Amino acid sequence: AELRVLLIDMVAAIQSRWPPSSGVELLLYVDDFTIMATGDPAEVIEKINRITSFTAHILEDVLKLEISVKKSVVTASSTSIAAAIAKTSPRRCLKPVRHAKLLGTATTAGARRCTRVLQSRLTNFKKASRAMFVFPFSFACCNAHVLPD
């Protein structure tokens, strides 16, 4: 909750510079911050780079927080756009990926359908379900009604 309070002013500052009508949307959940932008590729690359630079400045220089380089990723409707954003990112803290997790669910940008997380869950369930049928089990239900003395 304390982090969220610290970041309220940052989100307000970003929204005042890049309002939702400019094709920019922000998502803040606990310690995950997502920036989404729409438009033509050159415009999106420029927007994302400006916003990430502004955000990194506030987080690192003003609030003295650390940005996780391992978890900072960019996904786009094409891999070339994601690579261009990562390459031209002023702080070089973004890694281009095809798929990412957003709040524990699979996400991707644009025309792709993201099934990676669901496929891994299905594989894990199949492995677990085999183990369920290896051991026979019994089920019993007992209802007891206690009569008053």
pLDDT at residue 75, as a whole number: 82
Q: What backbone phi and psi angles, to 5 degrees, belong to 71?
A: -100, -5
SS3 88: helix
What percentage of the chain reaches a pLDDT higher than 90?
13
Tokens of 71: 């978890």
User: What's the CA angle centered on 12, arms 91 and 2, to 5 degrees?
Assistant: 85
Region of residue 64 (left: phi > 0; alpha: psi -120 to 50; beta: else): left
Tokens of 142: 């007992």
Contact residues for 68 (Cβ-Cβ < 8 A; gap 6+):
none
For the stretch 126-149, what's the b/e string if a residue is b when 16 or more beta carbons lie within 10 angstroms of its beta carbon?
eeeeeeeeeeeeeeeeeeeeeeee
pLDDT at residue 93, as a whole number: 78
pLDDT at residue 6, as a whole number: 81
Lowest mean pLDDT among 11-15, 97-101, 110-114: 110-114
Radius of gyration of the chain (CA): 23
Instruction: With residue 73 as reference, give the H or E element that holds it.
Output: strand 73-74
pLDDT at residue 115, as a whole number: 58
pLDDT at residue 109, as a whole number: 61
